[in-house]
């Protein structure tokens, strides 16, 4: 049973998991005290009418024994497993129920959130407890695969554990996640007990060897190679893994362009580690421990924070481990953040203004302005800064989790900031200043703005998750320059009750699209 604190997963999902329920959806108006299945006509309380007679289908059509599905009493349905309950997300269990499974899989795999607020919302969708669409036998695997692609391996592992991953449909993902996080004990124990969990031979050989059963590992390997079931890079790496002296005597293998998790783990085991920086984001988790050096740890942390798969507090902890070892690139960001941290602890406003300007420039240029703002924005909002530093402090506060409080206290008075503060309050921000996307954003927050009708209709058909995913794609189109799409996306998020996401997304797009000054 999964025992990780719920707060960790709420942090991963971000503010999107703590919004008001979706007021535009019919399910919200239902009386939660009513039964889930309505009584038949004619059985209302106080009615004395007799139920009409009707022909019933025969209970048995032939003498064959019916097929009966069995399972442990109280075991959760794997497809509905989630880490964030409805009370946390405000999302109904019917989130996916009316959607076509193939269409959902395509929308989830192609989702490309344009701003961090939508990335947090996507994580919330993947982690929410909700029934799968009918006929979707692998929908949980689709959700887990998306979390893995994002780099959120801890959440993916916890979701698998909640569902019970020792089954053929989920085991490959469980095994890969365990290899990438560095502890394959649990999946290997399950595989050693039940070899049919893995169709491929490689995991069976690896787990047998890891369990110390070298004769079985060697026999399985040689048999599979003789039968042609194991060849190429997998065979070469496993042979070196089983024969360490061979790994020492032969030249290193060329790195594969797209390694599997098993190839990645085997390469490290035989002393030929693959550089994670050039690989998909999920492989970056291997460098977070620091075993590959501080530079690799920094690069990995930044990649994962950008995707919303790692908290900004973890990034700050890695930034402040020691003094920067060089200059340029990530070292400049480390130095800038450490200097700002020292300036915030001091009492020199000029030093703080200079450190803030440098850190903001470095973090914005590297796509880290939002995590930076979540770290420092609330503190900066309380500082007496003027000029360019005051403007930066205000923007950072509006990109933080306390953006609404900041909007009530910011004193810097410019047309741009007045616009942003109105968006933060959810009020009509017109007239629009000369900010990127300002007119489209203002239209979405105008009074009586109608959302995109087709998307609301989809949401009301027990296809809310699909409607949200389509709204994300509409927002991306708007962020690319299609003003009408941006207005419709923001208005739809608001109509669905995702007000917090709408405000954050609008603020992030307006501020981060602006030219750095």
Residues 361-409 pLDDT 10s = 999 999 999 999 999 999 999 998 999 999 999 999 999 999 999 999 8
Residues 281-299 pLDDT 10s = 999 999 999 999 999 999 9
Residue 45 has φ and ψ, to the nearest 5°, of -60, 130
Of 90, 97, 10, residue with least CA distance to 467: 97
Given a contact cutoff of 8 angstroms between Cβ atoms, the answer to whether 263 and 234 are in contact is yes
DSSP, collapsed to helix, strand or coil, labels residue 33 as: coil
Please calculate the CA angle 258-260-263 and round it to the nearest 5 degrees: 105
Please calculate the CA angle 76-82-85 and round it to the nearest 5 degrees: 105
CA torsion sign for 145, 7, 371, 121 is positive
Distances (CA, A) of 43 to 34, 54, 163, 250, 459: 15, 15, 39, 80, 31
Beta bridge partner(s), residue 67: none
**Mean pLDDT calculated for residue range 1-8:** 44
Residues 160-185 pLDDT 10s = 999 999 999 999 999 999 999 999 99
Q: Where are the domains of the chain?
A: 1-19+79-195, 311-408, 413-517
Which pair of structure tokens corresponds to residue 477? Answer: 């189109």
Average pLDDT, the chain: 86
Q: Which residue has the tokens 């009301």?
A: 460
Residues 311-361 pLDDT 10s = 999 999 999 999 998 899 999 999 999 999 999 999 999 999 999 999 999
Residue 49 has pLDDT above 70, yes or no: no
Residues 198-218 pLDDT 10s = 999 999 999 999 999 999 999
Residues 495-517 pLDDT 10s = 999 999 999 999 999 999 986 54
User: What DSSP designation does 166 have?
Assistant: -
Residue 66: predicted pLDDT: 42
CA distance 75 to 269: 37
Residue 515 CB coordination number (10 Å): 5
Residue 71 has pLDDT above 70, yes or no: no
Prediction pTM value = 0.84
* Percent of residues, the chain, with pLDDT higher than 90: 72
| Angle separating helix axes 499-512 and 387-398, nearest 10 degrees | 150
Q: How confident is residue 120, by pLDDT bands cut at 50, 70 and 90? A: very high
Residue 15: predicted pLDDT: 66
Q: Which residue has the tokens 């203002």?
A: 442
Whether residue 494 is preceded by a cis peptide bond, meaning omega within 30 degrees of 0, is: no
């Amino acid at each position: 049973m999964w025992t990780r604190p719920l707060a960790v997963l709420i942090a991963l999902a971000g503010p999107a998991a703590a919004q008001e329920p979706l007021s535009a959806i019919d399910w919200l108006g239902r009386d939660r005290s009513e039964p889930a299945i309505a009584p038949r006509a004619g059985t209302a309380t106080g009615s004395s009418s007799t139920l009409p007679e009707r022909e019933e289908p025969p209970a048995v059509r032939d003498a064959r024994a019916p097929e009966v599905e069995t399972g442990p009493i109280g075991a959760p349905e794997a497809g509905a497993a989630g880490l964030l309950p409805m009370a946390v997300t405000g999302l109904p269990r019917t989130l996916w129920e009316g959607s076509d499974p193939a269409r959902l899989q395509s929308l989830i795999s192609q989702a490309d959130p344009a701003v961090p607020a939508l990335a947090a919302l996507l994580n919330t969708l993947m982690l929410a407890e909700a029934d799968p669409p009918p006929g979707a036998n692998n929908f949980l695997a689709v959700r887990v695969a998306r979390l893995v692609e994002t780099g959120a391996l801890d959440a993916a592992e916890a979701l698998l554990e909640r569902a019970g991953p020792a089954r053929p449909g989920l085991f490959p993902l469980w095994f890969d996640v365990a290899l990438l996080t560095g502890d394959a004990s649990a999946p290997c124990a399950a595989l050693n007990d039940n070899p049919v969990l893995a169709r491929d031979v490689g995991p069976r050989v690896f787990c047998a060897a890891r369990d110390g059963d070298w004769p079985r590992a060697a026999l399985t390997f040689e048999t599979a190679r003789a039968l042609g079931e194991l060849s190429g890079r997998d065979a070469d790496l496993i042979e070196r893994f089983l024969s360490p002296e061979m790994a020492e005597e032969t030249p290193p293998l060329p790195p594969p362009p797209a390694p599997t998790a098993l190839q990645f783990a085997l390469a490290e085991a035989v002393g030929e580690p693959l550089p994670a920086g050039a690989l998909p984001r999920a492989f970056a988790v291997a460098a977070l421990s620091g075993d590959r050096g501080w530079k690799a740890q920094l690069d990995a942390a930044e990649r994962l924070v950008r995707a919303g798969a790692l908290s900004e507090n973890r990034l700050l902890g890695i930034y402040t481990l020691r003094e920067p070892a060089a200059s340029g690139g990530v070292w400049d960001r480390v130095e800038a953040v450490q200097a700002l941290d020292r300036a915030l602890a001091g009492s020199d406003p000029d030093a703080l203004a200079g450190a803030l300007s440098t850190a903001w420039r470095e973090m914005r240029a590297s796509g880290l302005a939002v995590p930076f703002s979540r770290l420092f924005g609330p503190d900066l909002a309380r500082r007496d800064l003027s000029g360019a530093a005051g403007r930066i402090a205000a923007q950072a506060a509006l990109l933080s989790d306390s953006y609404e409080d900041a909007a009530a206290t910011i004193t810097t008075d410019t047309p741009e900031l007045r616009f942003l503060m109105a968006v933060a309050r959810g009020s009509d921000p017109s007239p629009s200043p000369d900010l990127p996307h300002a007119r489209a954003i203002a239209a979405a927050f105008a009074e009586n703005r109608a959302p995109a009708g087709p998307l609301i209709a989809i949401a009301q058909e027990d296809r809310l998750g699909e409607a949200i995913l389509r709204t994300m794609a509409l927002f991306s189109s708007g962020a690319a320059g299609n003003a009408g799409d941006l207005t419709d996306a923001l208005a739809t998020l608001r109509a669905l009750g995702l007000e917090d996401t709408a405000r954050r997304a609008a603020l992030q797009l307006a501020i981060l699209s602006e030219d750095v000054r």
